[in-house]
Amino acid sequence: MSILFRGRQVLTLVALALPAVLQAQSLPAGLSYSTYDWEARRKPMTLTTTEAQNPALILRELRVEEYALDAKRELHLYSLDHHIVRVNTSEGIERYNKIYLPVQDGGKVLSLKARTISPRGEVVEIDAANMKELKDQDGGRGFKIFAVEGLEKGSEIEYLFTRERPANYFGRNYMQDEVPARDVTFELITPEFFTFEARRYPSSTSVVLRDTVQNEKRIVRLALHDVPAAREETFANIKAERQRVEYKMAYSQARGRERLFTWADASQFLYRRVYGWTKDEQKAVDKLLKQMALPATNQVVAAEQYIKKNFRPDDSAGEDLAHVITTRTGSEVGMARLYAAIFNRLNITHELVVTSDRTDAAFDKEFDSWNYLDHFVFFFPSTKQWLAPGRPDYRMPLIPAEWTANEALFVRTVKLGSTETAIGSTGFIPTLAADQSPSDLDIAVQFAPNLDKSTVTIRETLGGYHAQQIQPFYGLIPDEKRTEVLQELIKSNVPDATFQQIKATNIETGLNPLEKPFIVDATVESVALLDRAGPKYLFKVGTLLGPQSELYQADERQYDVENDFNRRYNRTITFELPAGYQVRNLNDLNVDISAGPTDKGPEYLFKSSYEQQGQKVIVTIREYYRQIRWPKKDFEAFRGVVNAAANFNKVVLVLEKKG
């Protein structure tokens, strides 16, 4: 459900007993599946040899969403879910010994029953007393949960539940899980006078699902067979890649051929919600502006700093500005309304932008489902900068990477005479260039005279999204823990480091990591970098890069590559060879692997080389990833770059006496 109807949800699990009345209700008569039930007596299903090799297998998954009018002509949404899961191993039992059932906002479970069937055909009904409910702390979406006891290898778990909830005109249903499925079916049923559109994802171009009309009802149905497990893969967003159906109400007989819930409609809705301030709210904003005492220049930056240092996002806090300003807390919508009011009062030209998290579902501008309207951003056309009002850990122009490289809805306020309104259009939120998110190392190694240890000086520079992972939170770390945190960073490059000194620069809260990167300087001693092998010494120079991602998967690649953000790694390693020694295998330092050549050079690169000046050796390493997405058909080229870094991590130089 989009942010138009709820705030960001943070689960706090609170166990509550299910109401005893649960089993007394059922779907209303007249619904297509009102009399649906599981088979009263049946034996365990027969598996193929391949199916039996899986830890668990979904034998049947049926989900039906049906819209229906009640006696008052009010629209309701009813759903039925029927699942049968086979567990073949201990791992499968561990996965399914608790069943979580989603409960949408404002809805209720009408009926729920569950049972297990042993390999011998013994049926055990699960006692409703063992079923518990987990809810959000803000009373929003929660889960019903029940424990499944007495499972053994070869058992089947079967559960059937129905729900009622307020009609939502947009929906999403996943058709793929982390375990394989034999049969997965989704049905969307509506009165004939409503037309819902549905599309199947993922695909380079989404597939439109057609409806049929039966008994004055429209039915959209998708049945999949032998659905493979959605395996976790490095450099992929499995949730966004899972097969799913998106749907929305598109037409109503009462409105004829006029399309409903368009992007233009969403723009007007957002404009009214974000920019529709009451007189009391405007007075509260004017009073706040006096307290803020913003400078005449750089007002957007100053306003963001003030709000993010003095206000706290809280989705249970609401969006009334008088209340937000008094309590210094507000929901994501509330924070967006506050910023918009301030920009309006200061006559700062801006656009409201709403997008999705592409790791959940990439925004599809071709399908006007408001399900994609999840997160608020402000765009300033004059500076081409971005601001995330609900994220106090970010400073403009940085916004969460998962909102970038993504389409979005842009809402611009315009004046038509004396009337102010909004114009909306879809557009693209670009992400940062690779050089804007550096993770750089400048390392110097000095060997002790008797070659029993090394002194290493390191400067690590983290900027952009690399800095975002630590810089906004460093000031919140207790003083006594800060040194430990910094040492852990350095130990990724020198695992056995004994610290002589360490310090961090640009540690204040609220810094822009594009202008002031997070820098760590350290001097350490190590005995593990250099090993003796008879008359020779082995220098583990590659270790200084720190742990590297590896792509050595044996299975065929499932998904296209998708990076979190573009990034760069520049490293320089300098060391002085002991007098009378030389390196046998300096050429092992020469690596040049790239992918995706363009006019501006490769999209991905790992290149290392060395220069020798007498006994001094300077190793230079460049690695970058300049493109978020990469097709799986060219996966080998991308893998070559990633593995080049991993292989360099294993490089060991052989130091021997000159002959």
Gap between the Cα atoms of 39 and 158, Å rounded: 11
Q: Decide if pLDDT at 237 tops 70.
A: yes
Contact 464, 529 (CB under 8 A): no
342: enclosing H helix or E strand:
helix 332-345
pLDDT single digits (tens) 455-472: 999 999 999 999 999 999
What is this structure's pTM?
0.90
Q: Decide if pLDDT at 1 tops 60.
A: no
Cα–Cα separations (whole angstroms), residue 392 to 77, 398, 399: 37, 11, 10
pLDDT single digits (tens) 413-444: 988 877 888 999 999 999 999 999 999 999 99
pLDDT single digits (tens) 242-258: 999 999 999 999 999 99
As a whole-number percent, the residues of the chain with pLDDT over 70 amount to 92
What confidence score (pLDDT) does residue 7 get?
35
Gap between the Cα atoms of 233 and 558, Å rounded: 8
What confidence score (pLDDT) does residue 14 get?
24
Gap between the Cα atoms of 160 and 452, Å rounded: 68
Give the residue-averaged pLDDT of 498-505: 97
Q: Decide if pLDDT at 572 tops 70.
A: yes
What confidence score (pLDDT) does residue 203 get?
67
What confidence score (pLDDT) does residue 13 get?
24
Instruction: For the chain, give the mean pLDDT.
Output: 90
Gap between the Cα atoms of 186 and 278, Å rounded: 44
Assigned token pair, 511: 């810094």
Ordered by where they begin, the domains of the chain are 53-255 (2.60.40.3140), 263-429 (3.10.620.30), 434-657 (2.60.120.1130)
Of 445, 417, 448, 420, residue with least CA distance to 576: 445
Q: Decide if pLDDT at 89 tops 60.
A: yes
As a whole-number percent, the residues of the chain with pLDDT over 90 amount to 79
Contact 193, 252 (CB under 8 A): yes
Q: Decide if pLDDT at 8 tops 50.
A: no
Determine how β-strand 75-87 pairs with β-strand 98-103: unpaired
CB atoms under 10 Å from CB of 496, counted, come to: 13
355 beta partners: 375, 408
pLDDT single digits (tens) 598-644: 777 899 999 999 999 999 999 999 999 999 999 999 999 999 999 99
Of 70, 78, 66, residue with least CA distance to 192: 66
Q: Decide if pLDDT at 101 tops 90.
A: no
pLDDT single digits (tens) 120-165: 999 998 876 666 665 544 444 456 677 888 899 999 999 999 999 8
pLDDT single digits (tens) 136-147: 444 444 566 778
Give the residue-averaged pLDDT of 280-297: 96
- Starting at the edge strand found earlier in the chain, the sheet holding 419-429 runs 385-387, 375-380, 351-355, 406-416, 419-429
Strands (E), 540-652: 561-562, 567-576, 581-583, 591-598, 601-613, 616-625, 629-630
Of 421, 426, 267, 273, residue with least CA distance to 341: 273
